[in-house]
Copies of this chain bind each other. A is one copy, B any other.
Amino acid sequence: MEAIIGPGKCPDVYDRNCPSRGILEHVTSRWGVLVLAALLDGTHRFSELRRRVMGVSEKMLAQTLQTLERDGFVLREAHPVIPPHVDYSLTPTGEDVARQVASLARWCETSLPRVEAARSVYDAQKAASHSAAALGSPGPDTGTARVRQ
């Protein structure tokens, strides 16, 4: 009997020890997202993925593919020929996640202008409040009200 505190429901990503967090981290990992999205438009070979997902090293691509294969998201088919030929594709389950993460990735692309605008505003406000503080300028009242306890 280990569970001192009872979680609301068993698979709970908010729970520090719930295994579902591991899955979430696999599919949202730096390269996992991009590999899943890349496989959404069909079977690809190792080197094709390597070119498509720009910036990934051989090591990380191999590692990512193994993790996704083990979780049942990616199907690996090695053709025993020389030189080696290995095809990677999505399982039905993998297509499910892939659609979600690909959608997220596309959302990030389209939201880029909006986000960069938000960053400008944030940075400007930050700079303004810093220089104001440095000058001892009052600025908008940042006075602290006291409450009991």
Contact = CB atoms under 8 A, between A and B. Distances in A.
Given A20-B112, A72-B115, A93-B111, A82 B146 contact: yes
A55 B16 contact: yes
Interface in A127-145: 142-145
A108 interface: yes
A124 to B, nearest CB: 11
Given A13-B105, A28-B28, A28-B33, A142 B100 contact: no
Per DSSP, are chain A's interface residues mostly helix, strand or loop, or mixed? Answer: helix
Contact of A20 (B97, B103, B109): B109
Nearest to A114: B93
Contacts of A71: 115, 118-119
Interface of A: 9, 11-16, 18-21, 23-25, 27-30, 33-34, 37-38, 52-55, 69-72, 80-83, 93, 96-97, 100-101, 103-105, 107-112, 114-119, 121-123, 142-147, 149
